[in-house]
Amino acid sequence: MPTLFVPAPFRKSVEDLSRLEVGAGSVSALLREVDTRYPGFNAQLHGPDGSVKKYIRIFVNGKDIKALDGMETALDTRDEVFIVSAMAGG
Amino acid sequence: MQTKALSEFDRERYSRQLRIEGFGEEGQLRLKGATVLVSRVGGVGGTAAMNLVRAGVGRLILAHGGKVVPEYLNRWQLITPDDLGRPCAQVWAEKLGQIDADVEIVTVDEYINGENVADLVSRADLVVDGAPLFEERYLMNDEAMRQGKPLCMGAMFGMEGYASTFIPGESACLRCVFPEKPEYWTDMKVFPAIGPGPAIVGTTIAMEAIKVLTGFGQPLKNILWFFDLESNTTRYLEIERVKDCPACGASRSH
Ligand SMILES: [Zn+2]
């Protein structure tokens, strides 16, 4: 099953887990599935216009999904979806 | 960058790093002739500054407003309770001077702002950014890209951190990756921190600065190196330059 890495700012909504296994064939399907398990998860990532917030990047196997097929990037069982949220802590 | 000759003491002091393949005496002289601007001397920037001085960078400009307060003591590498209430940049200059009396340090008792950023960037060969506010980071990023100065960026949040090196005209910049700041990042009290996190980030960006200044090794160009010390996760994430990025895109000339 594809795995999802959840960064610290969004972990509260997924019972403090950093890693989830989610059966899904695309990034968007994966996020929908996580949101079904943990209602409200998706709302944190998306702005009012429905697009992913500009301080969040989503990677599949280390590649930005913008360079792949965006939210429709296909996922295989061993793929890893990685979410990073901008930080500035110094 | 000007270069000076190495003294006998320098040769001894840097003897271990002079043996690093691809670094050598030429690298050492480049560091000695370099000026690095460090934005904030906190857990990230201060650690970077300390490592840069130990490595032999000749000149540092330290920009940090405010005074040392108790909550800095858990992560700022060189401060002690005796420093409480003293201006941060000056305290740091003093400590760095103890590491190397020959290093030239310029202190700026201000954070990066719209008035000082252009002048400060113009006086440096490279910028190291460890500021805790996105406003300062975007100002620094935009100005460094405008002036064609490399920027080594590192940041953290709790157990997480990341670093990347932005080379104008060659790689992605901060705005390419994160065009906007998180709405929850309202002030510097927003991020939790414990010593090792910012220390790893600061050490990493010091190494990045050393690589860029000397030309040895592979800087983190178009790579966001991410770690999470809580779940023991680290990844090299590929980032891309955005063609019409307002800071580094084609509309900007270099
Ligand atoms: Zn850019």
The pLDDT tens digits for B84-121 are 999 999 999 999 999 999 999 999 999 999 999 999 99
List the domain boundaries for chain B.
8-238
Span B8-238: which CATH code?
3.40.50.720
Looking at chain A, which residue has its C-alpha nearest residue B45?
A: A90
Q: Establish if A90 belongs to a structural domain.
A: no
Q: Supply angle C-alpha B233, B151, B71, rounded to 5.
A: 65
Q: How many CA atoms lie within 13 A of B57 on its CB side?
A: 30
Domain count, chain A: 1
User: Residue B252: its pLDDT value, please?
Assistant: 61
Q: Establish if A22 belongs to a structural domain.
A: yes
Q: Give me ligand 1 centre to Cα B183, in Å.
A: 20
Mutate to test the interface with B, among A6, A10, A19, A87 (most CBs of B within 10 A): A87
Q: Establish if A23 belongs to a structural domain.
A: yes
**DSSP string for residues in B172-227:** --HHHH-SS--TT--SGGG----THHHHHHHHHHHHHHHHHHH--S---BTEEEEE
Mean pLDDT score across all residues of chain B: 95
For the entire predicted model, the pTM comes to 0.96
Query: How many CB atoms are located within 10 Å of the residue A51 CB?
Result: 10
CB contacts, 8 Å: A19 with chain B: 231, 233
> How would you write the pLDDT of chain A (90 residues) with one tens digit per residue?
999 999 999 999 999 999 999 999 999 999 999 999 999 999 999 998 999 999 999 999 999 999 999 999 999 999 999 999 999 999
> Domain limits at A12?
3-85
Reduce the DSSP state of residue A2 to 3 states and report it.
coil
Q: What is the CATH number of the domain that holds A46?
A: 3.10.20.30
- Chain A closest CA to B196's CA: distance in Å? 12
Q: Tens digits of per-residue pLDDT, A24-47?
A: 999 999 999 999 999 999 999 999
Query: Would you place residue B189 in the very low, low, confident or very high pLDDT band (cuts 50, 70, 90)?
Result: confident
ipTM: 0.95
User: Residue B43: its pLDDT value, please?
Assistant: 98
